[in-house]
A and B are shown apart, each in its own frame.
Chain A
Amino acid sequence: GAVVSQHPSWVICKSGTSVKIECRSLDFQATTMFWYRQFPKQSLMLMATSNEGSKATYEQGVEKDKFLINHASLTLSTLTVTSAHPEDSSFYICSASPAGIKYSYTFGSGTRLTVV
């Protein structure tokens, strides 16, 4: 089955630094990947849609300069949290959909970001 690998699974960084999170589709190509943010026992909030070879589209209220998304290949999307602050601490999850298969979403295992 379709597998999405997300790395790192957890990261601790200092305020003001940047952190990069990778999302890879291991056995399929994904023209579109999605980035979510999840608070403990709460919903997944869609942050942005990552499109291979073009700019990401961000949801309302999400700062595109803070959350930089790059989708340079059909198997890799990255989310960089720039100038991180403690309020950016959260669980970030990516999702990918195999090209050509409608409405099939596979999720990564998530990244726990803690900004100190």
Chain B
Amino acid sequence: AQRVTQPEKLLSVFKGAPVELKCNYSYSGSPELFWYVQYSRQRLQLLLRHISRESIKGFTADLNKGETSFHLKKPFAQEEDSAMYYCALISQGGKLIFGQGTELSVKP
């Protein structure tokens, strides 16, 4: 079964602290993985995708096939990073499947 798991429902950190949002997946083959972000009262938007290997707003994510993980990291969290974060993969049917989401709260 193709599945995305985000074990943390809520992650609370202080401004300037490192942050890591966990994502594990279940997929046979090479997955296409994404992180999406949803700020309060805004639409879902793409944060990054693993094949781009890019850094957006200071966030990075590395695909670890051995651990079937795609954790999202940022060395120094900012208050404006507070949002819902969703890890997602493309299913073999071409559909975007989301994890449960993690709410990141960055406190001043």
**A contacts, CB < 8 Å to B:** 32, 34, 41-44, 46, 49, 93, 95, 103, 105, 107-110
Contact A49 B32 (CB under 8 A): no
**A27 → B minimal CB distance (Å):** 16
13 A–B contact pairs at CB < 8 A?
A: A32-B94, A34-B96, A41-B103, A44-B98, A46-B98, A49-B95, A93-B44, A103-B32, A103-B90, A107-B43, A107-B44, A107-B45, A110-B43
Complex Cα spacing A41 to B84, Å: 7
Also in contact, A46 and B101, with CB within 8 A (given A93-B44, A109-B43): no
Residue in chain B with minimal CB distance to A48: B95
List the A side residues contacting B97 at CB < 8 Å.
46
List the A side residues contacting B45 at CB < 8 Å.
107
List the B side residues contacting A34 at CB < 8 Å.
95-96
13 new A-B contacts at CB < 8 Å, known A41-B9, A43-B98? A34-B95, A34-B96, A41-B84, A41-B101, A41-B103, A42-B101, A43-B100, A43-B101, A44-B44, A44-B86, A46-B97, A49-B95, A103-B90
Complex Cα spacing A103 to B88, Å: 11
A43, A46, A49, A110 — most chain B CB neighbours (10 Å): A43
**A37 → B minimal CB distance (Å):** 11
**B98 → A minimal CB distance (Å):** 5
List the B side residues contacting A46 at CB < 8 Å.
95-98
B32, B42, B94, B103 — most chain A CB neighbours (10 Å): B94
Q: Does B49 contact A (CB under 8 A)?
A: yes
List the B side residues contacting A93 at CB < 8 Å.
43-44
List the A side residues contacting B99 at CB < 8 Å.
43
Q: Does B46 contact A (CB under 8 A)?
A: yes
